[in-house]
């Protein structure tokens, strides 16, 4: 049975971090040997599997940087393997190349549907194989970096939340409520996803707000409030480091604006306030009202809605958004109880 072909049973696990790892999957030992020979010569760490099941076992233990797989195999074929890889958040960024036969139009269509990143025709041209692997590994390195940078910013946001016991779970709730509200008013997938991320990240800038202000059990002085307001600008600056977070930045910067221009940091008014930031503002207030804080007991949901309606009348919130939130709650689609 094919196994590691890197000179030792744990060679892959022990390999240097910057050497790209390739997993080749084929039920034909001759094909596997050829792939292994070509790619090992180019400096890759090559691991092999005889079918999709074995491949998934290897991926679970040690995710490769790229998977090259035959299509027709016993037990679990290449299409199913590809679908499994692409459906898990842990592995979906691993590029998958399907090696198809000349008459494989149908295989190709199935492969596209399963999320395959590229195709190679059998018998493959070694030069083409090398070029494809090289470019996909480069792409994978890039997405790894992005993933890593996003993970750093997300963990900053969680650090902020962890500093204040009273806001535990606040970001997760905002993420759920804001995306539900976005969906309720008919926003598309990209906006809903921005709201999901925005819920987690909206207060990331509080990382720079001192504990004595962030955790103060009482009203803030004017100076303290000025320092607190900075969290919107600092958060926006942190998120500007990543193109991936472009759609989240307006939420982070503007979630404390009010429709009449009395909010911060920019005093925007009316339609100048990005809609996603208005949505976050509404659910942020709702969550603050319905949870306990050092200086107050939580309000019940009806009282919180009364307060939001009052804010809409005062010209701070969009009444239609408040109505949509109330409707969402009536439908049982908000994650909290009364």
Q: Name the site residues for Fe ion (rule: CB under 5 A).
A: 203
Q: Which residues touch 273 (CB under 8 Å, ≥6 apart)? A: 254, 257, 259, 263
Shortest spacing between CB 234 and Fe ion, in angstroms = 11
Shortest spacing between CB 16 and Fe ion, in angstroms = 43
Q: Which of 50, 56, 69, 64 is nearest to 15 (CA)?
A: 64
Give the DSSP letter of residue 90: T
Query: Looking at the chain, how many residues does it have?
Result: 338
Q: In the complex with Fe ion, which residue's Cβ is closer, 176 or 209?
A: 209
Q: In the complex with Fe ion, which residue's Cβ is closer, 93 or 154?
A: 154
Q: In the complex with Fe ion, which residue's Cβ is closer, 224 or 323?
A: 224
Q: In the complex with Fe ion, which residue's Cβ is closer, 126 or 265?
A: 265
Shortest spacing between CB 232 and Fe ion, in angstroms = 6
Cα of first residue to Cα of last residue in the chain, in angstroms, is 59
Cβ burial, residue 70 (10 Å; 0-12/13-18/19+): buried
CB 67 within 8 A of CB 55: yes
Q: In the complex with Fe ion, which residue's Cβ is closer, 203 or 318?
A: 203
Q: In the complex with Fe ion, which residue's Cβ is closer, 161 or 203?
A: 203
Pairing of strands 21-25, 45-49: parallel
CB 16 within 8 A of CB 10: no
Q: In the complex with Fe ion, which residue's Cβ is closer, 26 or 236?
A: 236
Shortest spacing between CB 284 and Fe ion, in angstroms = 6
Shortest spacing between CB 231 and Fe ion, in angstroms = 6
Q: Is the dihedral of CA 14, 152, 274, 169 positive or negative?
A: positive
Q: Which of 56, 58, 57 is nearest to 6 (CA)?
A: 58
Shortest spacing between CB 205 and Fe ion, in angstroms = 8
Give the DSSP letter of residue 297: P
**Taking CB positions, which residue lies at the least distance from Fe ion?**
203
Shortest spacing between CB 240 and Fe ion, in angstroms = 17
Q: Tell me the two tokens of residue 255.
A: 């979630």
Cβ burial, residue 18 (10 Å; 0-12/13-18/19+): exposed
């Amino acid at each position: 049975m094919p196994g590691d072909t890197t000179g030792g049973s744990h060679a892959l696990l022990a390999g240097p971090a910057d050497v790209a790892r390739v997993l080749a999957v084929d039920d034909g030992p001759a094909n596997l040997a050829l792939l292994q020979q070509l790619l090992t010569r180019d400096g890759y760490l090559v691991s092999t599997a005889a079918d999709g099941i074995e491949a998934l076992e290897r991926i679970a233990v040690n995710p490769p940087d790229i998977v090259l797989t035959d299509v027709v195999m016993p037990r679990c074929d290449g299409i199913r393997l590809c679908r499994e890889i692409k459906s898990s958040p842990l592995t979906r960024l691993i590029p998958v190349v399907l090696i198809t036969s000349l008459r494989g139009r149908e295989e190709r269509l199935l492969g596209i549907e399963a999320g395959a990143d590229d195709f190679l025709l059998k018998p493959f041209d070694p030069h083409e194989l090398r070029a494809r692997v090289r470019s996909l590994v480069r792409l994978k390195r890039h997405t790894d970096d992005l993933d890593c940078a996003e993970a750093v910013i997300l963990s900053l946001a969680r650090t902020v939340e962890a500093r204040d016991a009273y806001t535990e779970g606040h970001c997760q709730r905002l993420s759920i409520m804001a995306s539900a509200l976005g969906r309720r008013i008919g926003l598309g997938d990209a906006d809903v996803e921005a709201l999901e991320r925005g819920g987690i990240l909206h207060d990331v800038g509080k990382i720079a707000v001192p504990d004595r202000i962030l955790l103060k059990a009482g009203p803030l002085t004017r100076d303290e409030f000025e320092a607190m307001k900075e969290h919107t600008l600092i958060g926006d600056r942190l998120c500007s480091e990543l193109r991936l977070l472009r759609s989240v930045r307006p939420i982070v910067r503007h979630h404390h604006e009010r429709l009449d221009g009395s909010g911060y940091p920019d005093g925007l008014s009316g339609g100048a306030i990005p809609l996603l930031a208005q949505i976050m503002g509404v659910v942020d207030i709702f969550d603050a009202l319905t949870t306990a804080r050092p200086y107050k007991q939580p309000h019940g949901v009806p009282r919180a809605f009364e307060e939001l309606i009052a804010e809409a009348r005062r010209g701070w919130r969009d009444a239609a958004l408040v109505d949509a939130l109330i409707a969402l709650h009536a439908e049982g689609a908000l994650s909290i109880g009364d």
